[in-house]
Structure 1
Amino acid sequence: MKAPSFPTGLSELAGQYDTILCDVWGVIHNGRAAFTEACDALVKFRAGGGRVCLITNAPVPEAQVIRYFEPLGVPRASFDACVSSGDATRFELARHRDMTVWRLGGNEGWEHDRFLYEGLGLKFEDSEKADLLLCIGLRDMENDQPEQYREELRGAVQRGLPMLCANPDKQVRVGGQLYWCAGALADVYEDLGGKVIYPGKPYSPIYHLALERVAQMGAPPKNVLCIGDSPATDVRGARTHGFHSLYVGTGLKQHGANFQAEVTDLLADYGEEATYAMTGLRW
């Protein structure tokens, strides 16, 4: 595998790109507070004429994603638009209005938000009566483990329910703590032989949505840089869609003394190549 280049800051790369698709959680904030240097870097990129579309696997629509920004300290000047796995999931749900939905993980909490499906006119039932499984997350993301759901999910697989996974991420870091996400349940589902539909990263629906939003700003993007902290979603999504990628080490992977060697090994473990890597996003 080819090792990434290691720039000292985004300023070394900015002139090559007109558009940035930037991950949110783990890149510009950690769920507790904004990463000031990262936000400043995006502000400066925009000041130089670039466009920034935030692209996140949060299983809620855009409005619910950005409402947390001000309390966390993420400035509005750091982005032009935001698209989420929740937005892409709503489009997918709208295509399946004729199906009865079993909602797994919906508890009205910060991640399991009714706005994901509100207003779509969906019919909800328990697992035995449904023909589509909407997986939003674990019921108790602080205490549950994905394997606890195996037998419950086995029944849905046996009944032939496709799973619509609202968040392909397997884990998210909130402050210094890791929590399981819907993607971990999707792994169990696929291991049992079930079919999973993924609207979020690294799959195409969310990228198509992001590029449409950027094009609406005046012109289709020509040179795109994807920034993220996950080899499995951000780096892989960039590669499969023909974009360059910048891996940053502020999210799930905590870097040690030799960041360059650690990142090279990490990417190799996932079979991925990032164009660039930095310990954290900065200008």
Structure 2
Amino acid sequence: MPRRITDLDQLTDRADVLLCDVWGVIHNGVNPFLLSVEALKSARARGQTVILITNSPRPANDVIRQFDTIGVDPDCWDDIVTSGDVTRRLVQDAPRAIYFLGPERDMPLVDGLDIDLVEAGAADAVLCTGLLNDEEETADDYRALLAGFQARGLPFICANPDREVERGDRLVPCAGALADLYVKLGGQTRIAGKPHAPIYIEAMARARALRGDVDLGRTLAIGDGVTTDIRGALDNGIDAIFIARGIHARQYIDGRSTDEARLNSFLDTAGVAPAYWMEWLA
């Protein structure tokens, strides 16, 4: 069972590098979590390096613009690696004729890439950043479209492996839900974001660029998603801190408090064993 901690500074001597999730840990898409921001600022002041590692399908510069809009203090991170950043490499290696499935706001993902964006019927590959209207649609609304792609054997590049995220006080589906459906239909996916290795390799490269040699044993990942943040960290040899008051909170929150027995049962059922857990990043 993970050890409960109440303050990130309890682990100052445990880690040199912190790989911290963004959505669900630092903000909910609408408002920043000020305690989390201050915790990361304090970690940096103590000499730890903070790399934000997010499944956002957009490049890091777009994430920074979102931070500016909602008020996330730029002093809480040293560098940012997004799923969009590492997915660009998958796109470069894919067939040239690509169908882009996602909202207009995610188009910066393909800026500068030598590809042709085409209609669905002319595509040799699919690049998915999310649903067109995630406030009203579900993955099943795309079943016929995806079945057509699968019948033609098109690779499905998923730029955001998250299945759902919190936006304010509600959950909305992400590209990961479409990728899951594509696999169920018999299709093949290509994914570089969490929990897959490419995003962790890039994050650790950024950490080494900032502080020299870095030991994975002196690195901690922080996140609220068991199938992405926690599974990804553990699969890549990194211990993790699970943030309980995130996307899975409904599974074990009893009134206003976390039922630790239910939390441990939830983690066990998910097949993950983070080293620590916290209510909030603080």
- TM-score, normalisation: structure 2: 0.94
Matched, 1:8 2:6: yes
| CA distance in 2 between partners of 1:221 and 1:72 (Å) | 32
Q: 2:122 aligns with which of 102, 107, 129?
A: 129
1:150 maps to 143
Shift of 1:184: 0.2
The alignment-based identity, stated in percent, is 39
Map 1:39-118 → 2, pairs under 5 A: 39-96=37-94, 98-105=95-102, 107-109=103-105, 113-118=106-111
SS at match of 1:30: coil
1:239 maps to 234
| CA distance in 1 between partners of 2:66 and 2:120 (Å) | 32
1:188 maps to 181
Q: 1:204 aligns with which of 197, 209, 227?
A: 197
| CA distance in 2 between partners of 1:277 and 1:123 (Å) | 45
In structure 2, stretches of 5+ residues that fail to align are none
| CA distance in 2 between partners of 1:120 and 1:145 (Å) | 29
| CA distance in 2 between partners of 1:147 and 1:229 (Å) | 25
Matched, 1:262 2:257: no
SS at match of 2:273: coil
| CA distance in 2 between partners of 1:62 and 1:281 (Å) | 22
Shift of 1:95: 2.3
Q: Which amino acid aligns with 1:35?
A: F
Shift of 1:72: 2.1
Give the number of equivalent residue pairs: 275
Matched, 1:166 2:159: yes
SS at match of 2:3: coil
- TM-score, normalisation: structure 1: 0.94
Cα RMSD (Å) of the superposition? Answer: 1.2
Shift of 1:241: 0.8
Between 257-266 and 206-215, the greater mean CA deviation after superposition: 257-266
2:208 maps to 215
| CA distance in 2 between partners of 1:60 and 1:220 (Å) | 28
Q: Is residue 58–residue 167 contact of structure 1 (8 Å, CA) maintained in 2?
A: yes
| CA distance in 1 between partners of 2:237 and 2:177 (Å) | 26
Q: Is residue 20–residue 222 contact of structure 2 (8 Å, CA) maintained in 1?
A: yes
* Large movers: runs of 4+ above 6 Å: none
Shift of 1:126: 1.8
SS at match of 1:67: helix
What do the CA deviations read for 1:18-48 (whole angstroms, capped 9, x no partner)?
0000000000111111111111111111111
Q: Which amino acid aligns with 1:108?
A: E
Shift of 1:91: 1.8
What do the CA deviations read for 1:222-268 (whole angstroms, capped 9, x no partner)?
11100000010011011111111000023212233334223212212
What do the CA deviations read for 1:132-191 (whole angstroms, capped 9, x no partner)?
110111111110011111121111111000100000000010110110000000010000
1:275 maps to 275
Shift of 1:73: 2.4
| CA distance in 1 between partners of 2:235 and 2:270 (Å) | 14
Q: Is residue 29–residue 35 contact of structure 1 (8 Å, CA) maintained in 2?
A: yes
What do the CA deviations read for 1:96-130 (whole angstroms, capped 9, x no partner)?
3x52101112x313xxx211001112111122221
